[in-house]
Structure 1
Amino acid sequence: MESLVSGWLTWRTAMERALYGEDGFYRRERPAEHFRTSVHASPRFAAAIARLLVEVDALLGRPDRLDIVDIGAGSGRLLGNILACVPPDLDARLVPTAVELAPRPADVPSRIAWRSDLPARITGLAVANEWLDNVPLDVVERTPEGVRTVLVEPVSGTERPGPPPSAEDTGWLEQWWPLSEPGDRAEIGHPRCAAWASVIGRLSAGLALAVDYSHSREARPVYGTLTGYRDGATVPAVPDGSCDVTAHVALDACLVAGRRAGATSSLLTTQREALRALGLSGTRPPLDLAHQDPRAYVAALCHAGEDAELTDPSGLGGFGWLTQSIEIPIPALLTRTG
């Protein structure tokens, strides 16, 4: 496969080949087979997104056509679950689109458009759930001789110091992830910023949402976050095409890039806070319900357990939620507290 070509590469080039090359990981595999996302943890994640979509629709004045775009759609399950949740009036006007490089699964509803690139224009809601963390990027490390771009041998994953980073890399690093001590590492996030800005740039009116592993400038991890996933387990990040290769996202930098691309309102919060605002409380049902309506009690208890997983601050609930909008404010439902 293309990703098995030997030789020293930058991490960005190695990731691009390993994940998206002709026989790359994401052209062969589905995310659900290797790691647990919110989409596959519970359909209640999609129900919360559907609730957000209803709010966006209202803020846009209920247009004749409303887009819902899933970027990095994987199996297409998120869109399928959203379609099962929206009210009939909205469903009749809804145009669902999956953006995904892998082939269309046979069980995806026929009304969902399947494409490999972003639509030219979007009016409605664009969702990028665990997409930005797979946008390839370079890795740098501070050495006694200064900051150097890290090179990797893709078959083995062995690393060595390379040349100094480019001016663009250095500028991003100084603003968003300064390195102070030899051995400190950073992942250069401007490709993620550019990818996110490309989403905002296609938003005619509506809201874009990025959900991902993230960190902020005040708490960047000293040695970076580059890792691999295969068959539900964490594995070394070897860019040979056999595993997912991912790194957490500097969503604060993406927020600024989104503003420069035209976003007029922004909110950066956690999945825990956002899903609670969208009605996923995780509250256990009253015990009396077990006697009054046993089936309803069991269903509510199941929902509470799923909500708890989705909002667990040490797991999925700790993900960052970046929402940015064009022509409308951030829905008030998301900005409420308590």
Structure 2
Amino acid sequence: MTALATEWLTWRTAMERALYGEGGFYRRGERPAEHFRTSVHASPRFAAAIARLLVDVDAALGRPDRLDLVDVGAGSGRLLANVLASVPPGLAGRLAPTAVEIASRPPDVPARIAWRPDLPEEITGLAVANEWLDNVPLDVVERTPDGLRTVLVDPASGTERSGSEPSAEDLDWLERWWPLGEPGDRAEIGRPRCAAWASVVRRIRRGLAVAVDYSHSRDSRPVYGTLTGYRDGATVPAVPDGSCDVTAHVALDACAIAGERVGATAGVLTTQRAALRALGLSGARPPIEMARADPRGYLAALCHAGEDAELTDPSGLGGFGWLAQSVGIPLPASLPAGSAPTGVPSTADR
């Protein structure tokens, strides 16, 4: 019997095919909630917090006749539907909700939500990219005894081998954002995520862009990277054959600098826990006296407290990074102080 030939691809090419190619994981309509728990599907309280943020953006913009709300990587469209149910009536009538998603439109998405495969040319309002950047394909690099090498993968099996030296652009990104010290150390080249985020911020004429994702910062990059797979609610090996979601954490600090370069005028890096608490999701249990005075209200408040606790759990969803960048308006006061995005100079900047 003749053995099948192995096809060696860079991880970026393999991920692109596996996730978005013909018959790819997302191209065929797989929904994130079927494979891993997201904030959107954990509770409508997440959408309620986004709605509160939207109200502040609307006020900063002077309450325009049309207010854009763009969900980048919309999945099932549930975030937009839940936000529509949460905003005040006066704002809802001016809201133009748009889902950006390559999969086909689900039948239960409200008719007023526009559905498109690409970003609008201009956005005045709020753009949210919730767990989108972690699925932007990227390359993996490993330090070997012979120097830095791009990692190649067989998409059918997930087997890896060393390839050529990374490009000059990738080497510069590595030096600035993810330097590797010892043989065996690995990094995921976040340059495509920086470009993807910049493409969102560039389209903001006035307003706010928010990215929410698994993330890490330059002073705490994982030594062996974060590449992994998800299928049916379980973590599985990252085999880029289209059978599972292939993902990696996001260098949001690098994305922040990319956003600044295309026009962001203010920004903050923080955690989901801090952001949602600032937006009113405290997780505090209602007073026990309420159980006697208003039993139904007490049960509802208790349910909200439990949902808030899951969304803000620092070891779970609350540990996600939030990058918020504004263009032409101040950062909303409802966002936490966090830290201002800062870049680490590369050799080209010295």
Q: TM-score range by the shorter chain?
A: over 0.9
**Which secondary structure state, in structure 2, belongs to the residue aligned with residue 274 of structure 1?**
helix
1:141-290 to 2 correspondence within 5 Å? 141-290=142-291
Structure 2 CA distance for aligned equivalents of residues 157 and 173 of structure 1: 24
Structure 2 residue 12 is the aligned partner of structure 1 residue 12: yes
Deviations 1:240-264 (A, max 9, x none): 0000000000000000000001100
Aligned 8 A contact 1:5 1:155 in 2: no
1:103-114 to 2 correspondence within 5 Å? 103-114=104-115
How much has 1:336 moved relative to structure 2?
5.4
Structure 2 CA distance for aligned equivalents of residues 334 and 166 of structure 1: 38
Which residue identity does 2:7 align to in structure 1?
A: G
Instruction: Write 1 or 2 for the structure with the bigger share of helix.
Output: 1
Deviations 1:208-238 (A, max 9, x none): 0000000000000000000000000000000
**Unpaired stretches in structure 2, ≥5 consecutive residues:** 339-350
Deviations 1:68-122 (A, max 9, x none): 0000000000000000001111111000000000000000000000000000000
TM-score calculated relative to the size of structure 1: 0.98
TM-score calculated relative to the size of structure 2: 0.94
Aligned length: 334
**Unpaired stretches in structure 1, ≥5 consecutive residues:** none
Which position in structure 1 is the counterpart of 2:41? 40
Which position in structure 1 is the counterpart of 2:309? 308
How much has 1:6 moved relative to structure 2?
5.0
Shift in CA distance, 193/336, structure 1 to aligned 2, threshold 3 Å: closer
Structure 2 CA distance for aligned equivalents of residues 33 and 5 of structure 1: 33
How much has 1:335 moved relative to structure 2?
3.1
Aligned 8 A contact 1:230 1:244 in 2: yes
Structure 1 CA distance for aligned equivalents of residues 26 and 6 of structure 2: 20
Aligned 8 A contact 2:274 2:336 in 1: no
Which residue identity does 1:57 align to in structure 2?
A: D
* Misfit runs of 4+, over 2 Å: none
Which position in structure 1 is the counterpart of 2:55? 54
Structure 1 CA distance for aligned equivalents of residues 336 and 216 of structure 2: 20
**Which secondary structure state, in structure 2, belongs to the residue aligned with residue 26 of structure 1?**
coil
Shift in CA distance, 172/331, structure 1 to aligned 2, threshold 3 Å: same
Which residue identity does 1:326 align to in structure 2?
A: V
Shift in CA distance, 137/336, structure 1 to aligned 2, threshold 3 Å: closer
Deviations 1:45-66 (A, max 9, x none): 0000000000000000000000
Structure 2 residue 21 is the aligned partner of structure 1 residue 21: yes
Which residue identity does 2:19 align to in structure 1?
A: L
Shift in CA distance, 58/5, structure 1 to aligned 2, threshold 3 Å: farther
Structure 1 CA distance for aligned equivalents of residues 86 and 61 of structure 2: 19
RMSD value, Cα: 1.1
Aligned 8 A contact 1:277 1:336 in 2: no
Which residue identity does 2:105 align to in structure 1?
A: R
Structure 1 CA distance for aligned equivalents of residues 207 and 98 of structure 2: 15
Aligned 8 A contact 1:290 1:297 in 2: yes
Structure 2 CA distance for aligned equivalents of residues 300 and 87 of structure 1: 21
